Structure 1
């Protein structure tokens, strides 16, 4: 299996950057488009659990937006072949002294063969 093919890493990174832009802008339509719309999709948030694309979309309609001061640190993109990847990142903001951690699994399932988030986990911890 090919790990971290440069063109696939670039494709996943571009999708991740678009998701992050949408997250900070509270662009719910784009965030929803980048999550797989399937019952198998899972998102574990800081204080919530969502199973299924429909539940994730419903949650997004009522959740508080992330702070505009959100800043990413140590983002790592790892691709496996041409159709699966993980993106791990840490984040900080002026809303909390805690360190955020975010992991996403991406698969090539999206429109026109693009990457889509199939699982995500977000958590906060005290600074180590």
Structure 2
């Protein structure tokens, strides 16, 4: 039977996720590049875009760099065996002066070069004028 949620792996991936979050909020392209799988098979479905392969890197290089900080809640790390994991969360942030809530999911795979994000999805909830919880 495949072990689910080995505590050491959950800790390792939680640490990696916060490394990703810091890089995302600081627009640290080098770290983001390192954490995403370098493959034409990777995909990131964003709030307004569908990105494949190198399009992710180009998007990160060209996105606005102001007001990227966000508040995270309901962070869940689930590991499957020793080489596959999912990370999901909810977030709140201000975009162009408007408070928005959203959600994010990532699939991580342990590859020869280490843990990498192999699939990502980000979506915003409809505007409501108040946080979604």
Q: TM-score, normalised by structure 1?
A: 0.91
Deviation by residue 1:60-112 (Cα, 9 ceiling, x = unmatched): 1111236244110110000000100000001111333221100000000262x
Do the aligned partners of 1:24 and 1:68 also contact (CA within 8 Å) in 2? yes
Tell me the secondary structure at the aligned position of residue 65 of structure 2.
Answer: coil
Aligned length: 125
Distance 2:109 2:93 in 1: 28
Pair 28,70 (structure 1): closer, same or farther in 2 beyond 3 Å: same
Q: Displacement, 1:11?
A: 1.0
1:104 equivalent in alignment to 2:112:
no
- Secondary structure at the counterpart of residue 40 of structure 1: coil
Structure 1 unaligned runs (5+)?
Answer: none
The farther-off stretch of 80-89 and 58-67 is 58-67
TM-score by length of 2: 0.87
Please give the secondary structure, in 1, of the residue aligned with 2:48: coil
Indicate the residue corresponding to 2:64 in structure 1.
64
Whole-angstrom CA distance in 1 between matches of 2:38 and 2:69: 29
Higher helix share: 1
Query: Computing the radius of gyration over CA atoms, which structure comes out larger, 1 or 2?
Result: 2
